[in-house]
Amino acid sequence: MTPQGKQTIIPNPTRRSVLTLPLILAAGRAHAGSDTKYGPGVSDTEIKIGQTMPYSGPASSFGATGKAAAAYYRMVNDQGGVNGRKVNLLSLDDEFSPPKSVEAVRRLVEDDQVLGIFGSLGTPGNAAAQRYLNDHRIPQFFIFSGVARFRDPKRNPWSIAGDLAFASSAKAFAGHVLRTNPEGKIGVLFQNDDFGKDHLAGLRLGLGEKNAAMVAGTVSYEVTDPTVDAQIITLKESGADVVMLATIPKFAALSIRKIHEIGWKPQILLAYPGATIEGALKPAGLDASTGIVTVEYIKQPGDPVWAGDPEMQAYLATMKKYAPDQNPNDRTSVSGYHGAAMVVSLLKQCGDDLTRENLLRQATHMRDVRVPMLLPDVLVNTTPDNYMAINQMRLQRFDGSGWVVFGDVVTG
C-alpha cells in the first residue's frame, strides 16, 4: 500500500496497481449485518475498483483525468470513505492502445479481483474490453466515452458511459450552424473510429434535410498519424467555411495550428474531448484558437461566474491538497473529478449491497442526481432502457484566454 497522498504511475499494464489509496475507516461503523452483501474486491473496510487510463501515448494529456479522479477518492477517504469503506483505485496505463487496454482490464479483473471497471478513458480501449466485461457480467460504468455502443442496454447492459453522447454534442453543433450560418459549408475531420464516426453521424442527423448541401467534405485520420496537414488542406479546398474537428487534443492542436498557418479562417467547432486549453489550445496557439466553439456540461475553473461557487471552491481545494502537481484549470482534471464523484454517488446508493448485480440495478435507476462540477441544470438520470446519463449541455466560445458560455441549455 502506498503512503497517503503518494501516486505511482506504472506505464505498463502487465504490472499491478498504480494508484492505491489510503485506508480510512468511518468512526463507529457497525459490524456487517445480515443485509450486507459483497462482490469481488469488497470487504468491511475496502471497495477495490479498476480503471485504465492513457498516462502515456498519443492521448497522454488525458492522464490528468485519472490523477484528478484519484484525488477525489483520496478526499472522500479522508472524510470517512463510502459508508466506512475506503475506495481503493487501481489505475493502469493502457497507452491508448486497445490491446493493452484489454490486457490491463483482464489483469484488474482476474488478478486484482476488482469490483468493476469505473471511469476508464478512451473509445478504442473501452470498446476493445467491452465484450469481455459484458460476457462476464462485470460493471464497465461511467467510462469516458460518448459513443453510442456504451448507451445500448439491450446489447451491452453492463456498459454505461458517464459523459455526454458524442452524437448529441455534434447535433448541438449542427443547430448552431443552422442558426448562425444556414448557407454555410462544413468540412469534417474525424478520428477513424467510433469516436469520430459518432460525431459525423450526429452532425448529419442534426442538419437533417440540409445535410447533403451543407457538408462539403469529410476526411479521417488515425491516432498513429504524425500529422493531419494533408487532411486540413483537403478540407480547405472543399470550400468549407466551417470545420468540425472530431479529434483528441493532440490532433486538435495539429489541426488548429495548420488552419492558422495556411491563412484559412473557418468557424471551428471542436469536439469537447479535444477542447482542452492545456492539451490543445495552448500548443496550437491561443491567437489561432480564439473563436473556437465547443459544447460543455461541466463548470470551468477560471470562469468568474463560478468564483464564489461552493462546488468550485471544493474542487480547487481538493486539487491543491491531493493533486498539487496537476493544473486545476485543465478541463481533463475537472472531468476526472466529476467522474469520480459519479462513482462515489453510485456506491453510496448501493448501501451495504455492494454486489455487481446491485451496482447495475442502482446505476440504471439514478433519478435527478446532482454531481459536483456539472453545470447547474445538468443532472444524472438513467433507467434500465435509457443509458444517457448526461444529456444536457451549453455552447461556449474561446475568447483567447478562457471559455465563454452562450445560449440556452441544449438537450441532446
Predicted local confidence at residue 278, as pLDDT: 87
Beta strands 403-411 and 392-398, pairing class: antiparallel
The Cα–Cα gap between 189 and 130 comes to 26
pLDDT band at 307 (very low <50, low <70, confident <90, very high): confident
Say if residue 47 is in the same domain as residue 137.
yes
95: domain CATH number is 3.40.50.2300
The Cα–Cα gap between 199 and 205 comes to 10
Say if residue 263 is in the same domain as residue 172.
yes
Taking residues 73-95, report their average pLDDT.
97
pLDDT of 29 strictly over 80 = no
Say if residue 216 is in the same domain as residue 289.
yes
Say if residue 110 is in the same domain as residue 130.
yes
Say if residue 314 is in the same domain as residue 332.
yes
- What whole-number percentage of the chain has pLDDT above 90? 84
Predicted local confidence at residue 297, as pLDDT: 94
Number of domains comprising the chain = 2
pLDDT in tens, 368-403: 999 999 998 889 999 999 999 999 999 999 999 888
**Is residue 6 in some structural domain?**
no
Say if residue 123 is in the same domain as residue 212.
no
Say if residue 120 is in the same domain as residue 87.
yes
Taking residues 7-27, report their average pLDDT.
37
Taking residues 334-353, report their average pLDDT.
96
Predicted local confidence at residue 412, as pLDDT: 75
Predicted local confidence at residue 34, as pLDDT: 53
Taking residues 343-365, report their average pLDDT.
97
Predicted local confidence at residue 290, as pLDDT: 98
**Is residue 138 in some structural domain?**
yes
**Is residue 234 in some structural domain?**
yes
pLDDT in tens, 245-283: 999 999 999 999 999 999 999 999 999 999 999 889 999
pLDDT in tens, 135-153: 999 999 999 999 999 999 9
Say if residue 102 is in the same domain as residue 191.
no
- For residue 50, the enclosing domain spans 37-164+307-381
Q: Which helix (H) or strand (E) holds 140?
A: strand 140-143
Taking residues 212-226, report their average pLDDT.
97
Taking residues 322-339, report their average pLDDT.
94
Say if residue 58 is in the same domain as residue 82.
yes
- Cell triple for residue 155? 446489447
Predicted local confidence at residue 13, as pLDDT: 38
CB 353 within 8 A of CB 37: yes
The Cα–Cα gap between 405 and 397 comes to 6
Q: Collapse the DSSP code of 210 into the 3-class scheme (helix H, G, I; strand E, B; otherwise coil) and give the result.
A: helix
**Is residue 290 in some structural domain?**
yes
**Is residue 361 in some structural domain?**
yes
pLDDT in tens, 49-60: 999 999 999 999
Structure-derived torsion over alpha carbons of residues 32, 36, 37, 43, reported in degrees to the nearest 10: -30
Say if residue 114 is in the same domain as residue 194.
no
Say if residue 288 is in the same domain as residue 170.
yes
Say if residue 159 is in the same domain as residue 253.
no
